[in-house]
């Protein structure tokens, strides 16, 4: 059976970056409904549309290119992009739509974080990173510990005019990775340095096709 | 723009930043430079609550229909955001253009519940404005307020320039026209307020003097001049079919409390429960034609894309042929995966079938609000629900697979005896018995919730005393002990002190405005939120102002006492309220307006069902 599964490429910037992951799903459901596009829904008591984001986006994250896949009851025309972009809230933009005939996974990604912090920030940050610290995270009682350099391929800290820019190249292993925000948080706690995040952006995400 | 940038920097570090970004579907975008009047619609609670309010949405779009007005919105920021704003020196801002409150022409508050009064003051404060109306000169925003709480506006009298009494759709436009004349001429604020008072439905509190008797009751409320009306008559929209209703409704990006399209199918309620304020102030009943409802429903789904549409009113079953209407809507809604919800439906066999058919998503929960535990007391309050009907509906519901039953009651109603409290227990017990008799074995959930009776202005019980805290506590315990014996029953009760404060504020007079201000100074805000409400702070403020709060809550008034809200004319006569109160004492019921007119007085408005009779 032929399934109409589509891959939507989109970008996200402020203010839409402050919409949570769940709210994003609901927002797209509503937009599809407004455009009179019938989506496939799950069966059962509380049916919901089959919209899947390849990478969930934390609140506040901007991105140059993200992907969600959606199953439709119908075939989509490419002109859908235009209609979509007309009604999307500020910050969201559909870039490309394609039929999803294969499966993709994230292989690695590039981040840029901008923080407001003291002059010497980069010096201390380098010092911190050299130690290859571990990031501990607790979620619903489960503690995960990740060594930074198992996931960070490279990073760079530089002072710009208004803020400090920290770039990361992050590896994704079995769907898991380290969030730059968590690294920054860990650092600012350990060094007791106040660092105020003013922007976090995924500038590039690389995918690999899988069968 | 600068404010916007500053705000966005704060958002990485606050709870639910989506509250502060605006930019929703169907948000109105205008060039603020190109309008004459900038209006800030303020809701004194967080975004998720404010954006669930239908009145806000109606007025927001209505005002923005006008080319010369830009209506924007502001909500109460959560405490974490307040702190950050203070640190960065950002005043309360609008979500449309991130303009700070003190730069608006008019600020309009929606007063939906008394417990948000401190938030009103807090929002003015956060907006960088003087709290007292007197201290706001020409050039500073005019502060107006509307919504159900304005039916007793007195506790906020010092802070609000003009109260809009009744339905705001027409009045607000008249106020704006007047404001335009004021803004672009050398009219003084005083002259403006005087002219405002001449608009029907506008109450300008500063134009009235209140005198008190030695015992603290009111001696008189007198206008300062002859041109100011002695009583302010509420405004209504006579015909819902020709009145404004937005179908390109602003739709939040983040989940709000009522995350669905709300479509009003009628206004008012004909039942006349004696404790219910809404039943009086929204009289007369006015229906919206089914064709209109259907058309709006379609447009709303197209424009908002929500997956649920809720047909709202005070008593949904009273809409003629509600089944037919709901099924008509279902025809196109089903195809678009849109659900229909029918709140405030009276439950019987027919509505049960309807519910099953239309409300597909939600876990089937049956909700009953008998309000009182015995027929005697239900007659006192004129609540027309028979115990047998509950049981027969419950039986049918169990057979259809419903496993959640919710029951709402009030404790502390006038004439209540311990038998009535025990009656609640009996109902819960019998429902559990029925389930057992039907041979079901699985666990079910019967939730019993009680709130405490709050005597409300403009109701037949407006003169009644509220139970003392001790009595409330005793009755709650009595019920709790007994309900423990029934299997599968969960009992929850409303905070005593919260009900107390609600009673004080809803029947308060002008002397309370000082108390509210002091409470804000002491840090009271979000009083409706359990985690913030602190009655001891309120007690302290009352003490400091040398006022006994029991005077407002626990005291029974005589029929001839001048009440603070006597200044407001709902159309329902005091004679009618008194008659209803006396009937209550005799346990005699009054029929609904659908059966016959009982002459409440509101027919003088010449609208809705009263005219058809
Ligand atoms: S005037 Fe009569 S019909 Fe109209 S609301 Fe009053 S009692 Fe009901």
Distance CA B511, CA B508 (A): 8
Please determine, for the modelled complex, whether the ipTM score is greater than 0.85: yes
Task: Examine the domain organization and report whether B313 and B438 are in the same domain.
Answer: no
Q: Please, are residues B189 and B138 in contact by the beta-carbon 8 Å criterion?
A: yes
Q: Please, are residues B133 and B160 in contact by the beta-carbon 8 Å criterion?
A: yes
Under the banding of pLDDT at 50, 70 and 90, the label for residue B400 is confident
Q: Please, are residues B254 and B16 in contact by the beta-carbon 8 Å criterion?
A: yes
For residue B503, tell me if it sits in a domain: no
Task: Examine the domain organization and report whether B286 and B201 are in the same domain.
Answer: no
Task: Give the nearest partner residue to B17 out of A41, A59, A87, using CB atoms.
Answer: A59
**Which positions ≥6 away from B333 have C-beta within 8 Å?**
B297, B301, B309, B339, B340
Distance CA B299, CA B311 (A): 14
Reported as a single tens digit per residue, the pLDDT across B273-301 is 999 999 999 999 999 999 999 999 999 99
Task: Examine the domain organization and report whether B200 and B274 are in the same domain.
Answer: no
For residue B467, tell me if it sits in a domain: yes
For residue B518, tell me if it sits in a domain: no
Q: Among candidates A57, A90, A72, which has minimal Cα distance to A7?
A: A72
Domain boundary among B441, B468, B494: B494
Q: Token pair for residue B245?
A: 């209703």
Task: Examine the domain organization and report whether B379 and B455 are in the same domain.
Answer: yes
Q: Round to the nearest angstrom and report the end-to-end CA distance of chain A.
A: 18
For residue B557, tell me if it sits in a domain: no
Reported as a single tens digit per residue, the pLDDT across B121-173 is 999 999 999 999 999 999 999 999 999 999 999 999 999 999 999 999 999 99
Under the banding of pLDDT at 50, 70 and 90, the label for residue A199 is very high
Q: Which residues of B446-458 are buried (b: 16+ CB within 10 A; e: fewer)?
A: bbbbbbbbbbbbb
Chain B positions in Cβ-Cβ contact with residue A201 (cut-off 8 Å)? none
Average pLDDT over residues B569-589: 96
* Chain A: residue whose CA lies nearest to B301: A34
**Which positions ≥6 away from B255 have C-beta within 8 Å?**
A22, A23, A26, B48
Question: Is A153 in CB contact (< 8 Å) with chain B?
Answer: no
For residue B513, tell me if it sits in a domain: no
Average pLDDT over residues B242-260: 94
Ligand 1 neighbour B505 (Cβ under 6 A): no
Q: Round to the nearest angstrom and report the end-to-end CA distance of chain B.
A: 57
Is-cis flag, bond preceding A15, omega within 30?
yes
Task: Examine the domain organization and report whether B45 and B183 are in the same domain.
Answer: yes
Return the HEC string of A136-200.
Answer: EEEECCEEEEEEHHHHEEEEEEEECCCCEEEEEEEECECCECCCHHHHHHHHHHHHCCCCEEEEE
Q: Among candidates B544, B553, B523, B529, which has minimal Cα distance to B457?
A: B553
Ligand 1 neighbour B280 (Cβ under 6 A): no
Task: Give pTM, 2 decimals.
Answer: 0.94
Ligand 1 neighbour B603 (Cβ under 6 A): yes
| Structural domains for chain A | 5-101 (3.30.70), 105-210 (3.30.70.3190)
Q: How many domains does chain B have?
A: 3
Task: Give the nearest partner residue to B307 out of A14, A15, A29, using CB atoms.
Answer: A29
Continuous segment of H or E residues that includes residue B160: none
For residue B607, tell me if it sits in a domain: yes
Q: Token pair for residue B194?
A: 């005087």
Residue B530 has pLDDT above 90, yes or no: no
Q: Token pair for residue B534?
A: 């602190």
Tokens 């009273």 map to which residue?
A: B318
Could you count the other beta carbons within 10 Å of the beta carbon of residue A192? 8
Task: Examine the domain organization and report whether B173 and B88 are in the same domain.
Answer: yes
Chain A positions in Cβ-Cβ contact with residue B87 (cut-off 8 Å)? none
Task: Give the nearest partner residue to B24 out of A39, A89, A116, using CB atoms.
Answer: A89
Q: What's the residue count for chain A?
A: 211
Distance CA B47, CA B51 (A): 6
**Which positions ≥6 away from A202 have C-beta within 8 Å?**
A61, A62, A63, A64, A65, A66, A109, A110, A111
Model pLDDT, residue B360 = 67
Query: Which of A13, A14, A15, A182 should we substitute to test contact with B (largest number of B Cβ atoms within 10 Å)?
Result: A15
Task: Examine the domain organization and report whether B283 and B138 are in the same domain.
Answer: no
Helix, coil or strand: residue A98: strand
Read off the CATH number of the domain in which B49 is found.
Answer: 3.40.50.280
Q: Token pair for residue B18?
A: 């989506």
Q: Token pair for residue B230?
A: 């002695």
Give B336's DSSP letter: T
Domain boundary among B477, B494, B511: B494
Task: Examine the domain organization and report whether B247 and B349 are in the same domain.
Answer: yes
Read off the CATH number of the domain in which B289 is found.
Answer: 3.30.750.210
Work out whether strand A92-99 and strand A4-12 pair parallel, antiparallel, or are unpaired.
Answer: antiparallel
Is-cis flag, bond preceding B284, omega within 30?
yes
For residue B556, tell me if it sits in a domain: no
Under the banding of pLDDT at 50, 70 and 90, the label for residue B362 is low
Domain boundary among B196, B229, B262: B229
For residue B441, tell me if it sits in a domain: yes
Under the banding of pLDDT at 50, 70 and 90, the label for residue A2 is low
Q: How far A186 CA sits from the closest chain B CA (Å)?
A: 15
The residues facing B266 across adjacent strands are B287
Q: Among candidates A181, A184, A197, A202, which has minimal Cα distance to A129?
A: A184
Q: Which domain holds residue B247?
A: 236-360+571-612
Helix %, strand %, coil % for chain B, to 5? 45, 15, 40
Reported as a single tens digit per residue, the pLDDT across B318-352 is 999 999 999 999 999 988 999 898 888 877 777 77
**Which positions ≥6 away from A1 have C-beta within 8 Å?**
none
The residues facing A204 across adjacent strands are A110
Give B166's DSSP letter: B
Average pLDDT over residues B531-547: 94
Question: Is B332 in CB contact (< 8 Å) with chain A?
Answer: no
Task: Examine the domain organization and report whether B372 and B291 are in the same domain.
Answer: no
Read off the CATH number of the domain in which B486 is found.
Answer: 3.30.750.200
Task: Examine the domain organization and report whether B135 and B199 are in the same domain.
Answer: yes
Q: Please, are residues B166 and B234 in contact by the beta-carbon 8 Å criterion?
A: yes
Q: Please, are residues A180 and A111 in contact by the beta-carbon 8 Å criterion?
A: yes
Cβ–Cβ pairs < 8 A, chains A and B:
77
Task: Examine the domain organization and report whether B459 and B406 are in the same domain.
Answer: yes
Reported as a single tens digit per residue, the pLDDT across B306-319 is 999 999 999 998 99
Expressed in angstroms and rounded, the spacing between residue B596 Cα and the centre of ligand 1 is: 8
Task: Examine the domain organization and report whether B175 and B243 are in the same domain.
Answer: no
Q: Please, are residues B165 and B202 in contact by the beta-carbon 8 Å criterion?
A: yes
């Amino acid at each position: 059976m032929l399934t109409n599964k589509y891959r939507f490429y989109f970008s996200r910037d402020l203010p839409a970056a402050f919409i949570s992951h769940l709210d994003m799903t609901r927002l797209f459901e509503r937009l599809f409904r407004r455009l009179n596009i019938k989506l496939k829904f799950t069966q059962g008591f509380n049916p919901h549309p089959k919209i899947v984001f390849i990478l969930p986006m934390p609140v506040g994250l901007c991105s140059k290119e993200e992907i969600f896949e959606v199953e439709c009851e119908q075939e989509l025309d490419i002109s859908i992009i235009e209609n979509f972009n007309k009604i999307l809230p500020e910050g969201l933009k559909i870039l490309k739509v394609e039929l999803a005939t294969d499966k993709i996974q994230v292989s690695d990604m590039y981040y840029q974080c901008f923080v407001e912090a003291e002059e010497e920030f980069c010096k201390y940050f380098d010092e911190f990173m050299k130690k290859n610290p571990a990031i501990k995270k607790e979620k619903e009682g489960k503690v995960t510990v990740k060594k930074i350099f198992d996931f960070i391929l490279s990073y760079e800290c530089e002072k710009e005019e208004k803020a400090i820019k920290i770039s990361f190249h992050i590896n994704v292993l079995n769907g898991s990775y380290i969030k730059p925000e968590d690294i920054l948080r860990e650092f600012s706690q350990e060094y007791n340095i106040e660092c105020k995040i003013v922007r976090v952006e995924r500038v590039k995400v690389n995918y690999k096709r899988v069968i | 723009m600068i404010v916007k940038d500053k705000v966005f920097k704060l958002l990485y570090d606050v709870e639910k930043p989506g509250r502060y970004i605006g930019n929703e579907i169907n948000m109105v975008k205008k060039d603020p430079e190109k309008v004459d009047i900038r209006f800030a619609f303020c809701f004194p609670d967080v975004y998720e609550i404010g954006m669930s309010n239908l009145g806000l949405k109606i007025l927001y779009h209505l005002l923005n229909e006008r080319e010369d007005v830009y209506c924007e919105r502001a909500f109460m920021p959560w405490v974490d955001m307040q702190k950050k704003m203070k640190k960065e020196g950002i005043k309360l801002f609008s979500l449309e253009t991130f303009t700070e409150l003190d730069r608006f022409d008019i600020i309009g508050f929606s007063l939906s519940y008394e417990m948000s009064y401190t938030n009103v003051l807090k929002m003015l404060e956060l907006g960088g404005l003087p709290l007292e109306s007197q201290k706001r000169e020409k050039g500073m925003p005019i502060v107006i307020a509307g919504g159900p709480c304005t039916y007793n506006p007195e506790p906020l009298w010092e802070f609000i320039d003009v109260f809009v009494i009744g339905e705001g759709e027409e009045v607000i436009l008249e106020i704006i026209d007047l404001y335009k004349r004021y803004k672009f001429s050398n009219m003084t604020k005083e002259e403006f307020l005087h002219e405002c008072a001449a608009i029907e439905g506008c109450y300008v509190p500063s134009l009235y003097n209140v005198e008190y008797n030695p015992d603290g009751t009111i001696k008189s409320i007198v206008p300062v001049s002859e041109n100011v009306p002695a009583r302010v008559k509420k405004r209504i929209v006579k015909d819902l079919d020709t009145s404004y209703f937005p179908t390109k409704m602003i739709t939040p990006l983040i989940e709000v409390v009522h995350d669905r399209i709300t479509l009003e199918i009628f206004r008012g309620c004909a039942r006349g429960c004696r404790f219910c304020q809404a039943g009086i102030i929204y009289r007369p009943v006015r229906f919206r034609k089914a064709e209109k409802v259907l058309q709006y429903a379609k447009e709303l789904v197209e424009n908002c894309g929500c997956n649920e549409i809720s047909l709202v009113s005070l008593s949904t079953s009273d809409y003629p042929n509600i089944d037919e209407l709901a099924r008509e809507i279902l025809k196109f809604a089903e195809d678009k995966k849109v659900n229909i919800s029918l709140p405030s439906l009276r439950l019987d066999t027919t509505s049960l079938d309807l519910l099953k058919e239309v409300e597909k998503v939600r876990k089937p929960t049956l909700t009953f609000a008998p309000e009182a535990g015995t027929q005697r007391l239900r007659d006192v309050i004129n609540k027309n629900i028979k115990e047998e009907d509950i049981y027969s509906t419950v039986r049918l519901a169990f057979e259809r697979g419903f496993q959640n039953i919710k029951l709402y009651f009030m404790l502390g109603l006038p004439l209540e005896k311990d038998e009535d409290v025990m009656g609640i227990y009996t109902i819960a017990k019998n429902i559990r018995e029925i389930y057992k008799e039907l041979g079901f074995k699985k666990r079910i959930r019967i939730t019993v919730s009680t709130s405490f009776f709050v005597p409300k202005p403009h109701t037949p019980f407006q003169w009644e005393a509220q139970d003392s805290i001790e009595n409330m506590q005793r009755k709650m315990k009595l019920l709790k002990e007994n309900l423990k014996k029934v299997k599968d029953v969960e009992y929850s009760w409303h905070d005593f002190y919260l009900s107390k404060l609600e009673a004080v504020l809803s029947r308060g007079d002008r002397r309370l405005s000082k108390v509210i201000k002091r409470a804000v100074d002491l840090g009271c805000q979000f009083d409706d939120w359990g985690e913030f409400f602190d009655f001891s702070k309120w007690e302290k403020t009352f003490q400091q102002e040398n006022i006994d709060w029991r005077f407002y809550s626990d005291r029974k008034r005589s029929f001839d006492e001048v009440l603070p809200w006597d200044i407001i004319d709902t159309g329902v006569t005091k004679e009618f309220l008194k008659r209803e109160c006396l009937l209550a004492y005799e346990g005699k019921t009054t029929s609904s307006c659908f059966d016959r007119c009982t002459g409440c007085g509101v027919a003088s408005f010449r609208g809705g069902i009263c005219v058809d009779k």
